[in-house]
Structure 1
């Protein structure tokens, strides 16, 4: 067991160090984890997001390391008996790592160096450890000799030190080579040429427990498939536009800033959000209008999809009609008055109001291609999600929290409702199975923003179920029929149970 675990530790530590020097995404553990994300069936992905939330990537990597540890124990057991068993097992794992690395959308032959280096050093460590272990085993069968045990302890301690040192140095090198963080710190954004209009004083319901109208960057939800946040060097970063256009273009970051920034408050939400879930937020975004860039390029007739690609290879397909119909589709470079945080897409992300993020909010953007839905299926469409995904009308109870206890008498219910591009015109609350009653709406300055709502309830003693539903700007009331997020967004009324004493 010790031989196997330490062999794996040395191999992975060396691979991590070399990946930090070559390409952090070439770390074999990250590559295997990314493959697991790609191959995982939809119910498993939904369970992971629902159960672990923002910690889903940590849970995935924890699972990968657990399986590697179990496999390493078996590897060590085989190696101590026959060296060729250990060599074959290590070679098999190296092959798996190479396949995983090469399977990523953006990869080069150099990216397999971390796997090969880790396997080579790991093999040497295994042979040394096996020799020490066999010496101890042989002496134990006759008469234990302290010197052999000391040799074994010294050997294992050296291997453990090597594993820890290489991993630690790899982390340090990775932090020092975090070009994205340095690039972001150096960015100086110009003031917007079209600032967002001032928010009315009445956008906030001013009730404890309700979501802030504008979500702080640190609290804004993050749902994506990147196991490590991409680090983008602005010196080499370029954004290209090609495909079925007359005039393909390439821009630097400074080129985009020179076009002038537009500032807008927009609510964004993820299609993975369950009814009443947390994956929705509002921010003040600054960016370059996207529609003029496409029109200047000259779109060929019959095209209906813009495929955007991130630096790590993710593809997002957006209906061209949604970009060109007059809404504030942006190439966002700032969020709540500062350059985009790394985890939210620095340096540039796409943002199309009224669409779920998986069809309109590509992060770490590096290319855009005009095409058709018939010609190309982006990442999520390949996995069964709808190609066109307008946001559905939804509402949520923020306070009281589930299973809260309150005293009898006046209780303030409050929450948020959203229906981007259509807006919210009414919110109703139901207590137990009673009639639906009108809630009070805070101001809603734009149909692309959520609205806070409140309802004063004279609560009697007992256990009660609270429900909420919203009506959008078209007059359509939110359906009560429950549906899961897959394939185009969840539906149903959010409910919660409280106890009044």
Structure 2
């Protein structure tokens, strides 16, 4: 009796077909995106789990060479954080492409790669503010497992389909591609929902808060303080237009229930203040112009706002500070970023604030909610700490703040500067036209502004009434030039009568100098 090998009871051998490289690479990218999306979703759902994207990106920011940071600021300006966040996500997806392709012939690469993903993410995240090591470990590990499982299942499905059946009408192919598309959408949705949850968690609390009535107030800018020149920067910059430069890849959003501002170090009594404690103290309004040391001549990393806050000296006096011995004040952000300046500057009359309000509302998250430092006359890198958590008193030689070891000067007084806002360089203008802009020298004030063409005689410009010596002014001048190309320059005169320097210097190590110069064509 003969035996038929196809009879019931026999087992057909499993055939594994070579998977196409393109779909395998795409599967790797989607798996990496899904893992990232899940970490972001978990960060939104659980306050004690930090964002893996933000954590890794912050590590990159803190450890990048100086030239990389300078390049990012010069190219992206205030959008450098968004560019880095997007770049981090894109890099992860590109790595996923490679993982997907490599895992076709070396299956061990899939689990090894996602295990590395988990290790890197956990290592970067556990050191973040308010992070729970246990929750962070399980959350990021779960995201990595999800990415591994997705890639494993897709590769197995790809290898189970005969390449001869990979036509457009093949049901198995359509199901597989549909599943991959669904996983991709899930990755995007998880990331988007997670990020929105993180944002709304802080905004919900902030929107219910109202600034108390300050003890001392400043009036709105008068008509004499505002020049009617189209294209000129507002005398008070709206919050949503104010420049932002910091090292935070994702804006910190402290939990106000646990947030405290502490004064520590060389003090008689350490102080710990809640947000309610700060709101109960005497508040003061001040118009103050602040600037980033990375602002190039003619750049826009400078702005003027009405700040509301508590006098820094009042809090220091509560702690008992002796500026003769505690010679350096080190403000520290919730993300660990530090600044540092001589303690005596808090007492020299410039009246620095622990600001809790900006232009009449609680500080926006981008600008330091719930509290930040505003120190007139100092660049932000040595003073203007956002998301303020601690003020440590130490000695000048005992500590170097964040930017000092990276090649920036330890002291950072803002230099007298001026800028041409209108016309723009390269613009075509008529023979007689109005030029205008802003000028600033916080603490010294601005006594005057002058403009000139072709290096000729200086022409005195009209200047707005100053809101304070700590605030910038607007300026304008009517110029009448012949047809052709012209070079226009501006300079400011500070409150002591000293013109800003013509000497050209780069932003590093302590701020750029030189005359802002534009080229226009008179038609």
TM-score by length of 1: 0.93
The structure-2 alpha-carbon separation of the partners of 1:305 and 1:127, relative to structure 1 and needing over 3 Å to count, comes to same
Report the equivalent of 1:372.
395
Number of equivalent positions: 496
Cα deviation for residue 208 of structure 1 reads: 1.7
- Who is 1:478 aligned against? 500
2:85 is aligned, of 52, 57, 61, to: 61
For each residue in 1:153-203, what CA deviation from the matched residue of structure 2 results, as whole angstroms up to 9, or x when unmatched?
35424533543443344345435xx33212211112221111125645422
Task: Report the equivalent of 2:96.
Answer: 72
Show the counterpart of 2:464. Answer: 442
Correspondence for 1:353 among 350, 369, 376 = 376
Q: d(CA) in 2 for partners of 1:190 and 1:208?
A: 35
What is the aligned partner in structure 1 of residue 26 from structure 2? 2
Question: How far has the Cα of 1:253 moved from its partner?
Answer: 1.5
Distance 2:306 2:144 in 1: 48
Cα drift, residue 446 of structure 1: 2.3
Aligned residue in 2 for 1:328: 351
Q: 1:224 to 1:112 in 2, by over 3 A?
A: farther
Quick one: structure 1 residues 378 and 398, their matched pair in 2 at CA, closer, same or farther if it must change by over 3 Å? same
Measure the CA separation in 2 of the matches of 1:340 and 1:464: 43
Query: Secondary structure at the residue paired with 1:80?
Result: coil
Instruction: Please identify, of 150-159 and 278-287, the stretch whose mean Cα deviation from structure 2 is larger.
Output: 150-159
When Rg is computed on C-alpha atoms for both structures, the one with the higher figure is 2
* 2:96 alignment partner, SS class: helix
Task: Give the deviation of 1:148 after TM superposition.
Answer: 4.0
Residue number in structure 1 paired with 2:39 = 15
Partner Cα separation in structure 1 for residue 58 and residue 166 of structure 2: 50
- 2-structure distance, mates of 1:129, 1:239: 50
Whole-angstrom CA distance in 2 between matches of 1:75 and 1:209: 51
- CA deviation digits over 1:79-120, x for unaligned, max 9? 121211222222223222223224557744133433211111
Instruction: Tell me if the contact between 2:493 and 2:500 (Cα under 8 Å) persists in the aligned partners.
Output: yes
Among 135, 138, 148, which residue is 1:123 paired with?
Answer: 148
Determine which of 279, 284, 296 is the counterpart of 1:274: 296
Measure, in 2, the Cα distance between the counterparts of 1:220 and 1:162: 35
Decide whether aligned partners of structure 1 residues 157 and 285 sit closer, same or farther in structure 2, where only a CA change above 3 A counts: closer
Structure 2 residue matching 1:191: 3-state secondary structure: coil
Output the CA distance in 2 between the equivalents of 1:76 and 1:196: 61
2:407 equivalent in structure 1: 384
**What is the CA distance between 1:472 and its match in structure 2?**
1.3
Farther-moved stretch of structure 1 (62-71 vs 454-463): 62-71
Post-superposition, which runs of at least 4 consecutive aligned residues in structure 1 deviate over 6 A?
141-145
Counterpart of 1:212? Answer: 234
- The question of 1:401 aligning with 2:424 is answered yes
Cα offset for 1:142?
8.9
Deviation, structure 1 residue 146? 3.4
Q: Which digits, 9 at most, give the CA deviation of each residue in 1:207-257, with x for residues without a partner?
A: 222211111111111111222222233222211111100011111122112
Counterpart mapping for 1:34-433 below 5 A:
34-102=58-126, 104=128, 107-109=131-133, 110-136=135-161, 139-140=162-163, 146-171=170-195, 173-175=197-199, 178-196=200-218, 199-300=221-322, 301-408=324-431, 410-433=432-455
Structure 2: state its 5+ residue gaps: 1-24
SS at match of 1:129: helix
Greater Cα shift, 344-353 or 369-378? 369-378
RMSD of aligned residue pairs (Cα, Å)? 2.2
Gaps of 5+ in 1: none
| SS of residue matched to 1:498 | strand
Describe the shift of the 1:464–1:193 C-alpha distance in structure 2 as closer, same or farther (beyond 3 A): same
Q: Is the 8 A contact 2:44 2:193 kept in 1?
A: no
CA separation of 1:413 and 1:157: change in aligned 2, threshold 3 A: closer
**Cα shift at 1:261:** 0.7
Equivalent position SS for 2:104: helix
SS at match of 1:47: helix
Q: Distance in 2 between matches of 1:249 and 1:143?
A: 70
**Structure 1: distance between partners of 2:459 and 2:487:** 14
SS class of match (1:299): coil
Instruction: Tell me which of 447, 454, 473 is aligned to 1:451.
Output: 473
Deviations 1:104-155 (A, max 9, x none): 577441334332111111121122111112113xx12699893542453354
Distance change in 2, residues 1:290/1:86 (3 Å): same
